[in-house]
A and B are shown apart, each in its own frame.
Chain A
Amino acid sequence: MRRISGRMFNKLGIQFLDFASMLGRVTQLIVQTSQWIARGAVDTRTTVQQMIEIGINSSPVIGLSSLFTGMVLALQTGASSRNIFNEPIYIGTVVGFSLVKELGPVLTAVVMAGRVGASIAAEIGTMKVTEQVDALYTLGTNPVRYLAVPRFIACGVMVPVLTIMANIVGIMGGLIVTMYRWDVPSSVYWEDILNFMMISDFMHGLIKSIFFGIIIVTTAVYQGFQCEGGAEGVGKSTTSAVMISMMLILISDYFLTALLVALRIG
């Protein structure tokens, strides 16, 4: 019994040390990346390439998912309010608030974690296991500067931009259903949104999306740099990058919301 509990403590201790060391490495990655950005050591060409890859190439999938999210929100809200109040009311308010404060940032971040997080982790992971990351050092290039900095900037900028796009497309989706399914005039839909929504509500979602972007890129780049063990290792790193970012997005969403509400932002 004593031996079993000893082993258990030993295992817990190792896991705690691994966790602490992981936190240290993640912090180091963020600090190093920030330092390179602060020094202005940014490769413009690679950063623009990453912005296109992360932002523009992700826009169709984000647009489509947010369009249908807005449409289904309008459908559900209209149906529920008709059941309760005998007419579909406040559809614009519900669709607008849900998208701008919650669904827009979270949905965009989750889709981006799957699409971009996986791609970044796989690309850097493959470079790590094929010694391309070591090769960068031998050619006078810091891998954090060359690989992490452009992806951090691209994600930090493009995730909020895509979130704004998702909000707009989602609201337009809601408008289509409100007008053609519930026969509510578009002016009423817009009034429902604009009468209640403030700039701080918009900022609430935007601030969250910036954090989500940083979570996605930090997790993916870290998993890529930590990748070991050939093709199997790349697969594991990619899966971990997606799963960890999704979990962190959903968990941090609650705490960020609590913080922003406490600060009266939205």
Chain B
Amino acid sequence: MIQVSGVAKSFRSNDVLRGVDLEVRDGETLTVIGGSGTGKSVLLKNMLGLLKPDRGEIRIDGTEITALDETELLHVQQKFGYLFQGAALFDSLTVEENVGFGLHNLTDFDAAKISARVRECLAMVGLKGIQNLKPAELSGGMKKRVGLARAIACQPQYIMYDEPTTGLDPIMADVINELILSLQKQLCVTSIVVTHDMKSAYKISNRIAMLYEGKIIFVGTPDQVRNTTNPVVHQFVEGLSHGPITVDIEKSFNFEDQS
């Protein structure tokens, strides 16, 4: 279980997170939605220990991670698989080396066992015979799938997906959604997804949380989100150009103009 309490994070004068409280239950898929630049990825990176919060606590299976040293943190990070927004595949390595990278570092598998596990993971994401290609030779969708294979290779307890469908065509986006669902069934992992793609959020989530102005303002099931009366959540999920979010954006622009 992941418990986030009162987490705040600023970059210079920009307060991105202003006291986030969130709980991710074991075995569920929780999706964090919110507009671009609201700090969804920052929240994920804080949960994983890639960024250190200015305030607040983050507990992973009861261990408070914000005060851990590098070695202890690395131990906690091994529980996670992470699919980065742009896949973040290592350019200089082949697909096989990319997927097997974590296995090489975190397990005592020999080369043959690593190679077999790489093939198995690539098959799980629907890819075959591309082990010797370099990331530059792959399409956007293939990169995401290789990134996903890399994320699951070490059999993590938690998988984090940062904008898994962004930049993909609708069909490929749905392929990725199906993959997330099937991996969820096969591996029974806890998943945290960050997205602003509502179609994807409704399809893959057990619960959806909305991040707005640095705080979680709503948590509920996809049905609760669909039927919410919260004006901010309603405007976001319906993609309306008029509503409280737009008013706040306009206010902030006016404020900047005056200053």
Contacts and interface: CB of A to CB of B under 8 A. Distances in A.
Contacts of B86: 130-131
A102 B102 CA distance: 46
Nearest to A131: B88
Interface in A90-148: 126-127, 130-132, 134-135, 137-142
A134 B101 CA distance: 14
A136 to B, nearest CB: 8
A110 B81 CA distance: 42
Contact of A140 (B85, B88, B105, B151): B105
Interface stretch (B70-78, B111-119, B188-196): B70-78
A130 B88 contact: yes
Given A139-B150, A140-B77, A140-B78, A134 B84 contact: yes
B74 A140 contact: yes
Contacts, number: 53
B102 A140 contact: yes
A43 B77 CA distance: 22
Q: Which of B45, B82, B89 has the most CB of A within 10 A?
A: B82
Nearest to A132: B88
Interface residues of B, number: 25
B90 interface: yes
Given A132-B90, A134-B45, A135-B90, A141 B84 contact: no
Contact of A142 (B70, B78, B89): B70
A130 B143 CA distance: 13
A138 B106 contact: no
A131 B78 CA distance: 17
A52 B10 CA distance: 42
Given A140-B74, A140-B78, A142-B74, A135 B88 contact: yes
Contacts of A132: 88-91
Interface residue tally of chain A, by bracket? 10 to 19
Interface in A121-179: 126-127, 130-132, 134-135, 137-142
B84 A139 contact: no
Given A134-B50, A135-B82, A141 B105 contact: yes
Contacts of B88: 130-132, 134-135
Nearest to A141: B105
Nearest to A146: B105
Of listed A132, A135, A137, residue having the most chain B CB within 10 A = A135
Interface in B87-141: 88-91, 101-102, 105-106
Contacts of A138: 48, 50, 77, 80-82, 102, 151
Contact of A139 (B50, B70, B85, B101): B101
Interface in B52-86: 70, 74, 77-78, 80-82, 84-86
A68 B172 CA distance: 58
Residue from B48, B70, B88 with most neighbouring chain A CB atoms (10 Å): B88
A141 B48 CA distance: 14
Contact of A131 (B74, B80, B85, B101): B85
A139 B45 contact: no
B106 A131 contact: no
Contact of B84 (A131, A140, A142): A131
A130 B147 CA distance: 13
A94 B113 CA distance: 62
Contact of A137 (B50, B81, B151): B50
A225 to B, nearest CB: 13
Contacts of B84: 131, 134-135
A137 B82 CA distance: 10
A121 to B, nearest CB: 16
Most interface-central of A131, A132, A138, A140 (chain B CB within 10 A): A138
12 contacts: A131-B85, A134-B45, A135-B82, A135-B89, A137-B49, A137-B50, A138-B77, A138-B82, A139-B150, A140-B74, A140-B102, A140-B106
Given A135-B90, A137-B50, A138-B77, 14 more contacts: A130-B86, A131-B84, A131-B88, A132-B88, A132-B90, A134-B45, A134-B84, A137-B77, A138-B80, A139-B102, A139-B154, A140-B77, A140-B102, A141-B105
Cβ-closest 7 pairs across A and B: A139-B102, A131-B88, A135-B88, A140-B106, A138-B82, A140-B105, A131-B84
